[in-house]
């Protein structure tokens, strides 16, 4: 991770130096060609044009000097910002000394390992929108897709990234000019770049020279949730009473962020935890059926050290409005299988002494098999409920612990294989940009 304190100190020293003055001359150059051409024309029959060029040259020179003065004054307030590249001309940046307009996502302030991990995910999701027709992406992405597709360089552009993409952070879309000489061997070998600018709503935003940046040496790597290790239970799970201390708070959270349930599918006999399914039928605001569990968070999961904030969880499922919903329909496995998997996963972590979190994939057997007859899916990936309000993903209980809500994305076997090789974010990018994500579409084609 970046050491923002030392990097900020180096940045201020650079701004106060003559080296920065020279840098400003490249951004706000003097109009030398006007003076040269104007001087030549003044000793020719076209001398009136020469005089006009000299006058405009003096005016432009004055403007550029004023611009450099204001830029140096502004730069005294600059802050470093670790960003990820969304749009960049890699061919142009392979040329020594080249400069290329680019679009970045990032934020001023803390840039620890958790921030860097979130930034990679955001880069994938935003980058996946570039080049898409806004009419073909989910409604919640349409406005920002139009913004990201406007790839003309806009010096002062700082657009907030929609909250459903940012997992609770205040990320911005920046425009800047990347400098090829700031990349080793003029090759972009990392998605991260460090820039600097005024942490206000507009202003210059520049690619920072690498010698000014101070990185921590022992930064931990983001957790890679490709493989879940667990041990089989050694005894039968206990039968528990259908009592939940968290239930009133979870019901209030569900109603506030997902809608008022039309019905609740209660368990008659429970093992380990009592799982209820809260069913919000499709309506004008949410044209899909939303299913949310309660009961999974009654017992903390077995998380690794450092992931204690993810011990409590509930699950979410979205079904098409045409999906048969009702106890009579659920007697048919082709209608009930997604709900069966919700209930299975809600107990899985507790009974196998493991945990479920963002990016985890759980195959249906080894080797994976379809969930039921005429069903193409054989695994599931957990993600944020990106389509909901950013506050919907966490419910803070009165004791201060938070319940995390994870959406279920059902997958083809080929998609699980892709995820294990490339990570969760690239797969989610493919799913979401094609309008699927955690929306169960039984007739969809695999995205990879």
Same domain, 95 and 207: yes
**Which residue, 51, 74, 97, sits at the end of a domain?**
74
Beta carbons within 8 Å of 444's beta carbon, 6+ residues apart:
434, 436
For residue 167, the enclosing domain spans 76-222
Number of domains in the chain: 3
If asked whether residues 278 and 418 sit together in one domain, one would say yes
From 35, 54, 74, the end of a domain falls on 74
* pLDDT, tens digit (0-9, with 9 covering 90-100), for 345-377: 998 888 887 889 888 988 888 778 898 888 889
Task: Tell me the average confidence (pLDDT) per consecutive run of 10 residues in the chain, 448 residues long.
Answer: 84 86 74 68 75 74 72 82 86 82 87 77 79 83 86 83 78 90 71 86 86 66 43 58 73 93 80 86 90 91 83 93 87 90 89 85 85 88 88 89 93 87 83 82 87
Would you say residue 447 lies in a domain?
A: no
* pLDDT, tens digit, 9 for 90 and up, residues 11-66: 888 888 888 888 777 766 766 666 677 677 777 777 777 777 677 767 776 777 77
Does residue 6 belong to any structural domain of this protein? Answer: no
Which residues neighbour 304 within 8 Å (Cβ) at sequence distance 6 or greater? 223, 355
User: Do residues 154 and 288 both lie within one domain?
Assistant: no
Clarify whether residues 264 and 407 are in a common domain: yes
Q: Is 438 within the bounds of a domain?
A: no
Q: What is the pLDDT of residue 167?
A: 63
Considering the domain architecture, whether residues 214 and 273 belong to the same structural domain is answered as no
The rounded Cα 270 to chain-centroid distance in angstroms is 37
Question: Are residues 257 and 206 both part of a single domain?
Answer: no
pLDDT of residue 98: 85
Residues 274 and 412 in one domain: yes
| pLDDT at 227 (0 to 100) | 45
Residue 229 covered by a domain: no
Beta-carbon contacts of 224 under 8 Å, excluding residues fewer than 6 positions away, are: 423
Tokens of 255: 């109603």
Residues in the chain: 448
143 lies in some domain: yes
Same domain, 412 and 369: yes
In this prediction, residue 36 carries a pLDDT of 76
* 211 and 287 belong to one structural domain: no
């Amino acid at each position: 991770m970046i050491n923002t304190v030392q990097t900020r100190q180096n940045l201020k020293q650079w701004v106060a130096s003559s080296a920065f003055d020279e840098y400003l001359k490249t951004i706000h150059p003097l109009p030398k060609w006007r003076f040269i051409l104007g001087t030549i024309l003044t000793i020719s029959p076209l001398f009136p044009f020469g005089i006009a060029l000299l006058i405009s040259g003096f005016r432009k020179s004055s403007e550029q000097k004023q611009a450099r003065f204001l830029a140096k004054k502004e730069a005294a307030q600059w802050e470093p910002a670790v960003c990820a590249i969304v749009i960049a001309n890699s061919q142009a940046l392979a040329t020594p000394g080249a400069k290329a307009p680019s679009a970045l996502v990032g934020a001023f302030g803390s840039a620890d390992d958790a921030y860097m991990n979130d930034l990679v995910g955001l880069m994938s999701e935003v980058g996946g929108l570039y080049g898409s027709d806004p009419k073909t992406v989910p409604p919640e992405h349409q406005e920002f897709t139009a913004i990201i597709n406007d790839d003309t360089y806009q010096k002062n552009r700082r657009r907030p990234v929609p909250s459903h993409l940012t997992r609770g952070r205040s990320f911005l879309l920046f425009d800047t000019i990347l400098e090829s000489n700031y990349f080793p061997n003029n090759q972009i070998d990392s998605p991260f770049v460090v820039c600097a600018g005024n942490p206000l709503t507009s202003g210059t935003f520049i690619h920072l020279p690498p010698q000014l940046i101070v990185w921590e040496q022992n930064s931990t790597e983001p957790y890679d949730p490709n493989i879940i290790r667990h041990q089989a239970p050694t005894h039968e799970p206990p039968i528990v009473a259908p009592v939940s201390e968290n239930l009133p708070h979870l019901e209030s959270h569900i109603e506030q962020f997902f809608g008022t349930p039309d019905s609740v599918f209660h368990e008659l006999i429970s093992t380990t935890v009592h799982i209820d399914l809260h069913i919000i039928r499709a309506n004008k605001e949410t044209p899909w059926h939303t299913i949310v569990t309660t009961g999974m968070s009654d017992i903390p999961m077995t998380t690794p050290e450092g992931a204690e904030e993810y011990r409590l969880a509930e699950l979410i499922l979205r079904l098409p409005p045409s999906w048969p919903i009702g106890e009579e329909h659920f007697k048919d496995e082709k209608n009930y299988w997604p709900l069966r998997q919700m209930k299975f996963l809600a107990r899985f972590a507790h009974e196998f002494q493991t945990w479920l979190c963002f990016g985890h994939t759980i195959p249906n057997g080894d080797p994976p098999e379809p969930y039921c007859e005429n069903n193409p899916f054989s695994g599931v990936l957990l993600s944020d409920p990106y389509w909901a309000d950013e506050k919907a993903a966490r419910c803070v209980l009165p004791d201060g612990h938070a319940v995390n809500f994870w959406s279920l994305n059902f997958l083809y076997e080929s998609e699980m294989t892709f995820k294990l090789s490339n990570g969760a974010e690239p797969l989610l990018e493919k799913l979401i940009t094609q309008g699927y994500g955690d929306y169960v579409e039984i007739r969809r084609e695999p995205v990879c």
